[in-house]
A and B are shown apart, each in its own frame.
Chain A
Amino acid sequence: MTVTNDTVLDVTDLRILLNSGSPIVDGVDLNLARGEILGIVGESGSGKTTTALALLGYAQLGAHIAGGKVFVAGQDVLALDKKSLREIRGKSVSYVPQDADQALNPSLRIAQSLTDVLRRRPRDRPADLISLLAAVDLPSTQEFGRRLPHQLSGGQQQRVTIAVGLACGPPVIVMDEPTTGLDVITQRSVLAEIARLRDDEGVSLVYVSHDLAVVSEIADRIAVMYAGRIVEQGPTSTLLARPRHPYTRGLLQSIPDHRRRVRLVPMPGTALGLEDRPEGCPFAPRCSQKTDECAVGLPLLESVGEQHEVRCIHWRDTEPPLARATIGPRSTHTDAMVTLRGLRATHRGRGGTVVAAEDISFDLHRGECLALVGESGSGKTTIARSIVGLHQPDDGTILLRGKQLPPRIRNRSLAERRGIQYVFQNPFQSLNPQRRIGEDLARPGQVLRGLSHTDAKSEVGGLLEQVRLPQRVAERYPAQLSGGERQRVAIARALAAHPDLLVCDEVTSALDVSVQAAILEVLAELRDDLGVAMLFITHDLGVVSVVADRIIVLERGRICETGPTDQLLSAPQDPYTRRLVDAAPTLSHPSADEALS
């Protein structure tokens, strides 16, 4: 990369190790030009947050910065003594953290928090609170300044942390997943804010995220990280149209697109943990174009084109991303498997009763996948739990195959309990840590289908195959599996009961995008092969586009709109649905898929 006078950030050979010696970040080179937004994209374990923190000379507990140079405003951050390091933080380079509500001091009013950083400005360039608040589009009133963090909405809290980062006017701002955790509509407005900062105030940004779609909409250049190294970096449009690293390509093919329903192409294998990084190229075990040479030494960064670099010895052979097959409408049965009529569910809490869902009525047909879509607080999980019997609704009826279901699990018959199975969101808490996978998978067969222990165990192999897991998983404990693997086990466990309806509650929300792609494809296959009906709860329209035949959109406990997936996503009628569809992030240049449609 050529370093010009216009370079505000120049990172060479950054290495960060765990105190035990394992490398987290292993030789990262970056630079940022004035007025540019550089996106750093990586999945969990890629080292992106560690890199971001190191730009301020900060290492988390248990790790230390072992080498490299980070030049900001003419100084090497890593070579500074403690006092000077503290001095440049906020003034030469600042950091906007991920969880705004955790980062803001709950005991200080907003004005106090902002003043704490504002007072660090040089005497001759004071700035006032009012203009700072206005700069992030927050009300610059005294009333607002007197508020405490918990009195702000998520979006407002995030803007305050951005304001803190802006306060001393640093040339470089590092943002670490600033919109993760915000709902889609809020995320859209914060992203617009960030873009405006770049355009109007000339701020140079490093934007770190796991969400390639979000980054693609805002970044000028993107660096993709894998196993502690940058595997590819280049201008956004080039990277998306013609990626040269197999991992980048694989990522692009794993990302769903709600504007055109496409089959995802997941990458085989999983990202390896810190301890298991192999010799040579870390991606090789999963790579389709690997050769024996790849395991020998680490590939160096090679230049592909204008400002485009890649770390792969076979980059010339990398095919352009496949045009992914579109998903057409499926024919489903017309008989209703599950029917809801006038469901009303509430939560009794400290502050009184909150109505989670009101007047919910819909049919779910045999073999169909119906998605319940909404932001947090829309009531989708409560409705799902009511169907399963884990939550008692206040009013309304639920029919399974035409027969009314008792609201409580206890009162349901064996057949009814068997008929509906639930897969939970958190893969790390859905399996009993003290039990082997094989035992866990045998249990539903024993309890719900009256099988003997031996018979139930003999089915375990088949179940694992259905979710594409190797047989040896049966002898393992949950702690030995990754999040994606655990989620597959959870799905297999649900299938062990031979249910008529599978309820999936945000089953991929806690997973990386590449892992998500694999799970979604498994679910789609199961739906096609087994003919089991699915109720899919999610807030992510991209996910919906891959699995669902029909969509119901919920807002604050009420149904806004319902319709077939194709129709609803391309031409939403309800204004709320329209806002959701517009706000959902997508890859800004999905050229490959577009070409064929």
Chain B
Amino acid sequence: MNRTRTRRWIRVSGSGKAGLVIVVVVVAIAVIGPLAAPHNPDVVAGLPYAQPSAAHWLGLDFLGRDVLSRVLHGGLTVVFYAGVATAAAYGVGLLVGLFAGYRRTWLEAVLMRFTDVILAFPALVLLLLLATAFGPGITGIVVATAIIQLPPIIRIVRSATLEQSVRGYVEAAVARGEGTLVVLRREILPNIARPLSADVGLRFSWSVLLIASVNFLGLGLQAPASDWGLMVSENRGGIASNPSVMLVPAAMLGALTLGINLLGDALAGGKQ
């Protein structure tokens, strides 16, 4: 088949652009929020579940602390820890997946069995299990989240690598006697970057979801930390009197994951 020049457009649809905007806004709130908070998020300022007022735009939470300040402080942890977990998972997963897909030795078979075992667990249950193992607190959660993300990442990287390794240019490099590292770096890595980039967003979204859910269950970050997930859980009692206390942090989390999904969909999309 004759191929003429093809121009590559990155077409981001309307929903993709919306997703990008949402993500930027939420991350901005999460990162800059603590600098903009009007009150100290840990100080009791009045009666529990007080209604929104001029001084406290979103009212007060179940202990009487300013909700707006807590919301502005509450995103950094989840965004930061999700980011760390995803980055760690990718760092390890990329290396393992590349080697597993390229050098098909007995080690790879063992590794695959191991990832199968981890995948055989419902993620949240595994998280709880590891929370039990490491004890309460956010460090264990971050490590656990990274471990949970490893198998899917290894799988994707491995299968992409496998697909590349049978291509003519990779075999030509092998036939030239080029070493494993050189081949992985020059021939394979540049060609798997594109399919992987679609996955990164998904992983981050999943990390956010997991960490927020564990915080919601009270098994991650502990009170009196300001965390969106934790806030939804601790303010359940106020659902009748001041629902915004639960709703606003929930909405922040929802917006973040929704935005990432829209964006990821648009970038990966066109594959309809």
A and B touch in the complex (CB under 8 A): yes
Q: Within 8 Å of chain B (Cβ to Cβ): is A451? A: no
A436 to B178, CA, bound (A): 19
Which of B3, B172, B178, B190 is the one whose CB lies under 8 Å from A493? B172
CA distance A431 to B172 in the complex (A): 9
Chain B positions within 8 Å of A482 at CB level: 1-3
B3 near A483 (CB under 8 angstroms)?
yes
State whether A390 and B175 are in contact (beta carbons under 8 Å apart), knowing that A432-B191, A433-B191 are contacts in the complex: yes
Contact A443 B171 (CB under 8 A): no
Q: How far is the CB of B161 from chain A (nearest CB, A)?
A: 15
> Is A479 located at the chain interface by the 8 A CB criterion?
yes
Residues of A within 8 A of B11 (CB): none
Interface residues of B in 172-201 (CB under 8 A from A): 172, 174-178, 186-187, 190-191
Interface centre among B4, B169, B190 (most CB of A within 10 A): B169
B6 within 8 A of A: yes
Contact with B along A489-527 (1 / 0, CB 8 A): 010010001000000000000000000000000000000
Report yes or no: B177 in contact with A414, Cβ–Cβ below 8 A: yes
Flag whether A19 is at the interface (Cβ < 8 A): no
Instruction: Tell me if A388 counts as interface (CB < 8 A to partner B).
Output: yes
Give complex CA distance A480, B178 in Å.
27
CB-nearest residue of chain A relative to B3? A482
Let me know if B122 is at the binding interface, CB within 8 A: no
Given the complex of chains A and B, what is the CA–CA distance between A307 and B175 in angstroms?
56
**Contact partners of A409 in chain B: CB under 8 A:** 174-175, 177
**Judging by beta carbons under 8 Å apart, are A444 and B2 in contact?**
no
Q: Which residues of B contact A421 (CB under 8 A)?
A: 175
Residues of A within 8 A of B174 (CB): 390, 409
Give which listed residue, A422, A429, A440, A479, contacts B167 with CB less than 8 A: A429
In the complex, what's the smallest C-beta–C-beta distance from A565 to chain B, in angstroms?
28
**Interface assignment of A275: CB less than 8 Å from any CB of chain B:** yes
Please tell me which one of the listed residues A273, A276, A424 contacts residue B171 in the complex, with CB atoms under 8 A apart.
A424
| Docked complex: A411-446 residues within 8 A CB-CB of B | 412, 414, 417, 421-422, 424, 426, 429-434, 440, 443-444
Contacts of B1-23 to chain A: CB distance below 8 A: 1-6
Q: Are A412 and B168 in contact (CB under 8 A)?
A: no
Q: Of residues 52 to 70 in B, which have CB atoms within 8 Å of A's CB atoms?
A: none
Report the bound CA distance from A412 to B177 in whole Å: 8
Across the two chains, which residue of chain A brings its CB closest to B190? A434
Minimum CB–CB distance for A26 against chain B, Å: 17
- Say yes or no: A444 contacts B176, CB within 8 Å: yes
Given the complex, which residues of A lie within 8 Å of B4, measured CB to CB?
A: 272-273, 275-276, 480
**Residue from A270, A388, A434, A443 within 8 A of B2 (CB atoms):** A270
Measured in the bound complex, the distance between the Cα atoms of B6 and A480 in whole Å is: 7
Please, which residues of chain B bring their CB within 8 A of the CB of A422?
171-172, 175
Across-interface contacts of B6 in A (CB, < 8 A): 479-480
Closest A residue to B4 by beta carbon equals A273
A410 close to B3 (CB less than 8 A): no
Chain A residues closer than 8 Å to B169, beta-carbon distance: 429-432, 440
User: Of all chain B residues, which has the CB nearest A413?
Assistant: B177
Q: Residues of B contacting A430 with CB < 8 Å? A: 167-169, 172
Whether the pair B5, A271 counts as a contact (CB closer than 8 A) is no
C-alpha gap A427/B26 in the complex (Å): 47
With A422-B172, A424-B171, A447-B177 as known contacts, state yes or no: A432 contacts B1, CB within 8 Å: no
Which one, B1, B177, B190, contacts A410 given CB within 8 A? B177
A45 to nearest B CB, angstroms?
6
Cα–Cα, bound, A44→B3 (Å): 11
> Would you call B175 and A483 a contact (CB within 8 A)?
no
* Interface core residue of A272, A422, A434, A447 (most chain B CB under 10 Å): A434
Query: Which residues on the A side are within 8 Å of B186 (C-beta)?
Result: 432
Residue of A nearest to B189 (CB): A434
Measured between alpha carbons, how far is A272 from B168 in the docked complex, in Å? 26
Contact B2 A447 (CB under 8 A): no
Q: Which residues of B contact A481 (CB under 8 A)?
A: 3
Given contacts A410-B177, A432-B187, A447-B178, contact A45 B171 (CB under 8 A): no
A112 to B15, CA, bound (A): 45
What are the residues of chain B within 8 A of A497 when measuring CB–CB?
176
Q: Is the CB of B175 within 8 A of A389?
A: yes
- Taking CB atoms, residues of chain A closer than 8 Å to B172 are 422, 424, 430, 493
Q: How distant is the Cα of A45 from the Cα of B1 in the complex, in angstroms?
A: 7
Judge whether A298 is part of the interface by a CB distance below 8 angstroms.
Answer: no
- A18 in the interface (beta carbon within 8 A): no
Complex: chain B residue closest to A443, CB-CB: B176
Question: Is A532 on the interface with B (CB-CB < 8 A)?
Answer: no
Q: Determine if A53 is an interface residue (Cβ-Cβ < 8 Å).
A: no
In whole angstroms, what is the CA distance A429 to B172 when docked? 11
Instruction: Find chain B residues with CB under 8 A from A410 CB.
Output: 177
In this assembly, does A448 line the interface, its C-beta being within 8 Å of a C-beta of chain B? Answer: yes
User: Residue of B at shortest CB range from A433?
Assistant: B191
Contact bitstring A567-593, B, C-beta under 8 A = 1, else 0? 000000000000000000000000000
Near B by CB (< 8 A), chain A positions 25-78 give: 44-45
Chain B residue contacts of A44, Cβ below 8 A: 1-2
Mark each residue of chain A from 436 to 465: 1 if its CB lies under 8 Å from any CB of chain B, else 0.
000010011001100000000000000000
Q: How far is the CB of A447 from chain B (nearest CB, A)?
A: 5
> A390-B175, A434-B190, A447-B178 are known contacts. Are A424 and B168 too (CB-CB below 8 A)?
yes
CA–CA, A273 to B6, complex, Å? 11
Instruction: Given A426-B168, A432-B169, verify A417-B176 contact (CB < 8 Å).
Output: yes
Known: A412-B177, A447-B177. A390 touches B171 (CB 8 A): yes
In the docked arrangement, what's the CA distance between A264 and B61, Å? Answer: 87
Chain B stretch 140-187: residues in CB contact (< 8 A) with chain A: 167-169, 171-172, 174-178, 186-187
B177 and A417 contacting across the interface, CB-CB below 8 Å: yes
| Cα separation A33 to B1 with both chains bound (whole Å) | 32
Q: Closest CB-CB distance, A239 to chain B, in whole Å?
A: 25
**Centre residue among B4, B187, B190, B191 by max chain A CB count within 10 A:** B4
| A273 contacts B168, C-beta separation under 8 Å | no
Which residues of A have CB within 8 Å of B191? 432-434
In the complex, what residues of B have CB within 8 A of residue A45's CB? 1-2
User: Within the complex, what minimum Cβ distance (angstroms) separates A285 from chain B?
Assistant: 13
The distance from the CB of B270 to the nearest CB of chain A, in whole angstroms, is: 13
Q: How far, in angstroms, from A412 to B174 measured CA to CA in the complex?
A: 12
Q: Give the Cβ gap from B166 to chain A, nearest Cβ, in Å.
A: 8
Give min CB distance, B108 to chain A, whole Å: 15
Give Cα A158 to B198, complex, Å.
Answer: 40
Q: How many angstroms between the C-alpha atoms of A558 and B176 in the bound complex?
A: 29
**Which B residues are CB-close (under 8 A) to A275?**
4
Give A269-328 interface residues, CB cut-off 8 Å to B.
270-273, 275-276
Q: Which of B1, B167, B175 is close to A417, meaning CB atoms less than 8 Å apart?
A: B175
Q: Can you list 11 A-B contacts with CB-CB less than 8 angstroms, sorted by A residue number?
A: A44-B2, A270-B2, A276-B4, A388-B175, A390-B175, A426-B168, A440-B169, A480-B4, A482-B1, A482-B2, A490-B168
Listed from nearest, the 7 A-B pairs whose CB atoms lie closest are A430-B168, A424-B168, A273-B4, A482-B2, A434-B190, A432-B169, A429-B167
Other than A422-B171, A429-B167, give 5 A-B pairs with Cβ distance below 8 A. A272-B2, A429-B168, A433-B191, A480-B5, A483-B3
Residues of A bordering B, CB below 8 Å: 44-45, 270-273, 275-276, 388-390, 409-410, 412, 414, 417, 421-422, 424, 426, 429-434, 440, 443-444, 447-448, 479-483, 490, 493, 497
**Chain B residues proximal to chain A, CB less than 8 Å:** 1-6, 167-169, 171-172, 174-178, 186-187, 190-191
